[in-house]
Amino acid sequence: MKWSIPEDRQYTDEHEWLQVDEKEDTRIVGITDYAQDKLGDVVFIELPASGQTVSLGQSLAVVESVKAVVDVYSPVTGEILRVNQELTEKPELLNEDPYGKGWIAAIKAGDPIQTAKLLTAQGYANLITDLEKEEI
């Protein structure tokens, strides 16, 4: 596959990834390699404020590329503990390192935990294989 899909995290069908940080009991959220590739060069990101609560499916951030402006939906309900402020100065990190330095926010999940339908790396790989097939 052309796009990287690390095994150590889960995915939504809206092309966000979510990784559980056991130590901190938080969920780190970002966009997938496939998403950044389809968007093209990211030029701006509007980030939420930390401390804010966010509901599942609500817009967490707005990403603007040379091609489009899209919402990043929160895959989990909870309190935003930290946001990646570095993205404000360097939105290109979303393109260069979507699974690492391009993380968007760390969210402390509420109780009970509410998340979007999450896919495994394999499940997400199947999804984008299907998406690409449809396009032919």
Partner 1 sequence: MNAAFPLIFEKDRPGRKGFSLPPCDVPLKPLEELLPQECLRKSRLDLPRLSEVDVVRHYTALSRRNYGVDSGFYPLGSCTMKYNPKINEDVAALAGFASIHPLQGDPTYQGALELLYNMEQCLKEITGMERYSFQTVAGAHGELTGLLIILAYHRSRGEKRNRVLIPDSAHGTNPATVTMTGCEVLQLPSNDKGLVDTATLKAHLDEKTAALMLTNPNTLGLFEKDILEISRLVHEAGGLLYYDGANLNAIMGHCRPGDMGFDVVHLNLHKTFSTPHGSGGPGSGPLGVTARLESFLPYPVTAKDGDRFFLDYQRPRSIGKVHSFFGNFGVVVKAYTYIRMMGARGLKQASDDAVLNANYLLNCLKDIYHVPYRGPCKHEFVLSAKLQKKRGAGAGDIAKALLDYGLHPPTVYFPLIVEEALMIEPTETENKETLDHFVEALKEIAAEIETDPVKIKGAPYSTPVRRLDEVLAARKPVVRWKKEP
**Which residues of this chain interact with partner 1, rule CB under 8 A?**
38, 41, 43-44, 64, 66-70, 91-92, 135
Q: Considering the complex, what minimum distance in angstroms separates the CB of residue 113 from partner 1? A: 26
Of 21 and 41, nearer to partner 1 (C-beta) is 41
Measure CA 19 to chain center. Answer: 10
- How many of the other CB atoms lie within 10 Å of CB of 120? 13
Residues 6+ apart with CB under 8 A from 20: 9, 26, 27
Of 6 and 44, nearer to partner 1 (C-beta) is 44
Residues listed for the chain? 136
Extract the tokens encoding 91: 């939105």
Q: Considering the complex, what minimum distance in angstroms separates the CB of residue 75 from partner 1? A: 18
Of 68 and 113, nearer to partner 1 (C-beta) is 68
Q: Considering the complex, what minimum distance in angstroms separates the CB of residue 91 from partner 1? A: 7
Strands 105-109, 78-83: pairing is antiparallel
Note if the bond before 91 is cis, omega within 30 degrees: no
Of 113 and 131, nearer to partner 1 (C-beta) is 131
Q: Which residue, among 68, 14, 5, has the nearest Cα to 42 in the 3D structure? A: 68
Q: Considering the complex, what minimum distance in angstroms separates the CB of residue 57 from partner 1? A: 12
